[in-house]
Chains A and B, each alone.
Chain A
Amino acid sequence: MGAMKDAPPAPSQMFSVATGAAAPRPALAAAVAILLMLAALPAFAARNLIQDLIFLFYMLALAQCWNLLAGFSGLISVGQQAFVGLGGYMLFALTLFAGLDPLLAIPLAGLVCAAFALPTALIVFRMRGAYFAIGTWVVAEVYRLVFAQFKGLGGGTGTSLAPSITSTVFGIEWVKALFDVRTPAARDIISYWGALVLMASTLAFVHAVLRSRRGLALGAIRDQEAAAAGLGVDIYRTKLAVYVATAAMTGMIGALIYLQKARISPDAAFSVLDWTAYVIFIVVIGGIGTMEGPVIGAVIFYLLQRNLADFGAWYLILLGALAIAVMLFAPRGLWGFVAERFGVTLFPTRRRLIMGSDHGKRV
């Protein structure tokens, strides 16, 4: 046999685990620049574009929330419409009955959703996997049927926000003066900023969770629950925390959606098609289990919705068929395909093993 290499086998080879560049400065700067540009957009953009972007932003935010549940935590929910609807109804209740400003009602609606998510979780967490999915759907139906009983909120037919509420929302006079627009356009601009803030904070929240220790625990649970438990991950509490936090985010988004729509009914607010099926489509098409996937999926969905929604039933058949095809032939979605081929990532959340490094980042 040939001579051994003279260097002794390093008994303490250095290695470390890193989550990509912690916050690559150019990327951070680019993100801030994009945000500022989007925030300034109402100065130039037509009202149509602003309305379209509100839709795009809240669908993207919902998709990130669902992706955190299903793609990263193994909690496949078909019942997130429960929290969209609850958030929307809380906005109506808090503004109509308590006289709060809608912008204040949005975070409060999120808190109420978190409070409702806890007891809901105690029941639905008794089911696992596919049963959890249908169980969450049953719960959403219960929410829908219960809100249809509240006569003060319009019962089964629903109710509208009085114009006196929507046109006195905080900051509206200032927006009117700044952009020289009428009240309805100013309302859209405020909703637009609200949607932008919610979308950006959802992205930041999911990003932060995935880079934290809890995010690592989530990945372990999703990949192999028994092994994760063996390594000391408290599965129940980790999942519960994600479920409640996602419910709060989803509820705030729901509140914003119904501030923009200014009209709510149980069938629309707790619609499985609008708030779960479309959201699943976005995540699956873009790439489940990645943060980039929902971004791409939301843009594709927006383009399809804009151009094909008039085809009604045929459009929905197309969406269903596309989702099935992607699930069968490219289960990691469009982004999975791109990332595999070019090895790129926009939101560095994956852990990589770095050999021979002695200045690793935190785990």
Chain B
Amino acid sequence: MTGALDAVIQGILLGGLYALFAAGLSLIFGVMRLVNLAHGDLIVLAAFIILVLAGKLGLDPFMAVLVAAPILFAIGFALQHVLLNRTLGRDLLPPLLVTFGLSIIIQNGLLQLFSADSERLRSGAIETASIALGGGIAIGVVPLLTLLSAVAVIVILNLIFYRTALGRAFRATSDDLEVAQLMGIDHNRIFATAMGLAFVVIAIAALYLGLRSNFDPTIGPARLLYAFEAVIVGGLGSFWGTLAGGIVLGLAQTIGARIDPEWQILSGHLVFLIVLAIRPRGLFPRALD
């Protein structure tokens, strides 16, 4: 019984990480209907940026991410403004193939720079600290922080979307691009800002990715798939749905791994396919697209 309860708790905490992966993907889809196949590789890239900053400046990863966030915002803004805005239109292929090409470039660029060795973000005692809940169940401080950060990111994204002028512009361009342009919204700038914001979320996701486990340049595509599954399971267009989707995926993987360690990833994928088969619009759908 304790084992089952423990699996559920650890699964929910893992779901926090997947919700962080997914929040950035969900954000850019929500604003500009862009599905970014390089999303997972961008998370890994951000983890390496944090690693390098922490190493060079002698900072704790939690501090390094504060330095990395504005840099990543600028990279995201520029990427959207210079490259990705050109691909958006009625045709689905250009954005998909350009981001797929980007994924291959980032993966191999990182391999060239950092080799295929596993890396990890080091933050001293907090990495192994845990809180005992009694009954033999303990929760790690880092996994707990991951989940709390995911909730905080989602609260903040919702505030930005529904309480600020920027959020109004996001929603307006998302609802009707042409009318938004008529109202004087520079959609290229709005899209670039949204991508910059997504990159800040990516920085936070990368921090916890690097603190919770080893990472190397090749693990990006799998993170993309987890993020995507969380978004679809949760239902498009709702950040809280994305959190729920992440938790469903985390639970599926953790429970699967308890049955047989080799089934961890497979159980996550299978639960995704089952949800797709019985509730194709996800558990908490909002958008119609």
Report A's interface with B, CB cutoff 8 A. 70, 74, 76, 78, 122-123, 126-127, 129-131, 133-135, 137-139, 141-142, 145-146, 148-149, 272-273, 277, 280, 284, 288, 312-314, 316-317, 319-321, 323-324, 327-328, 331
The 5 nearest A-B residue pairs measured at CB: A130-B35, A320-B104, A313-B108, A320-B105, A320-B101
Once bound together, how far apart are the Cα atoms of A235 and B266, in whole Å?
Answer: 32
Would you call B277 and A146 a contact (CB within 8 A)? no
What chain B residues lie within 8 Å of A312 (beta carbons)?
A: 108
Contacts A123-B273, A328-B83 given; 7 further ones with Cβ under 8 A? A74-B92, A123-B277, A127-B280, A130-B92, A134-B35, A138-B272, A321-B105
Asked if residues A327 and B112 are in contact (CB atoms below 8 Å), the reply is: no
Count A/B pairs, Cβ under 8 Å: 116
B277 touches A126 (CB 8 A): yes
Q: Which residue of B lies closest to A74 (CB)?
A: B92
Whether A277 contacts B100 in the complex (CB less than 8 A), given A126-B277, A328-B86, comes out as yes
Is A134 a contact partner of B228 (Cβ separation < 8 A)? yes
CB neighbours of A272 from chain B (8 A): 221
CA distance A151 to B262 in the complex (A): 13
Contact B37 A317 (CB under 8 A): no
Write out the residue numbers on chain B whose beta carbons fall within 8 Å of the beta carbon of A74.
92
Partner of A70, one of B93, B102, B269: B93
Determine the distance from Cα of A186 to Cα of B254 in the docked complex, in whole angstroms: 51
B130 within 8 A of A: no
Bound-state Cα–Cα, A171 to B100, Å? 43
Give Cα A284 to B104, complex, Å. Answer: 15
Instruction: Give the interface SS of chain A, mostly helix, strand, loop or mixed.
Output: helix
23 contacts between A and B (CB under 8 A): A74-B92, A78-B100, A123-B277, A126-B276, A127-B232, A130-B35, A130-B95, A130-B96, A133-B96, A134-B225, A135-B276, A141-B222, A142-B266, A142-B270, A272-B221, A277-B104, A313-B111, A313-B112, A316-B105, A317-B104, A317-B109, A320-B108, A323-B101
In the complex the two chains form, is B273's CB within 8 Å of A327's CB?
Answer: no
Contact status A317-B86, CB under 8 Å: no
* Partner of A288 from B93, B224, B265 at Cβ < 8 Å: B93
- Could you say which of B93, B109, B277 has the most chain A C-beta atoms within 10 Å of its C-beta? B93
Distance, CA A4 to CA B199, complexed state (A): 68
Q: Report if B97 contacts A (CB, 8 A).
A: yes
Once bound together, how far apart are the Cα atoms of A47 and B104, in whole Å? Answer: 33
Which A residue sits closest to B104, measured CB to CB? A320
B95 shortest CB reach to chain A, Å = 7
B93 in complex: contacting residue of A76, A122, A134, CB < 8 Å: A76
Q: How far is the CA of A148 from the CA of B263 in the complex (A)?
A: 10
In contact, B270 and A314 (Cβ under 8 angstroms): no
Residues of B within 8 A of A123 (CB): 273, 276-277
Residues of B close to A273: CB separation below 8 A: 104
Interface residues of B in 88-117 (CB under 8 A from A): 91-98, 100-105, 107-109, 111-112
- B276 touching A324, Cβ below 8 Å: no
Asked if B229 is an interface residue, CB under 8 A from chain A, the answer is yes
Expressed in whole angstroms, the Cα–Cα distance for A144 and B97 within the complex equals: 23
Quick check: A139 and B111 within 8 Å, CB to CB?
A: no
Q: Give the Cβ gap from B118 to chain A, nearest Cβ, in Å.
A: 17
For B100, B270, B277, B280, the residue with the greatest tally of chain A CB atoms inside 10 Å of its CB is: B100
Q: Please tell me if B158 contacts chain A, counting CB pairs below 8 Å.
A: no
If the complex has contacts A78-B37, A131-B232, A314-B108, are A328 and B98 also in contact, measured as CB distance less than 8 A?
yes
Give complex CA distance A327, B232 in Å. 27
Q: Which among B83, B96, B100, B269 is the interface contact of A145 at CB below 8 angstroms?
A: B269
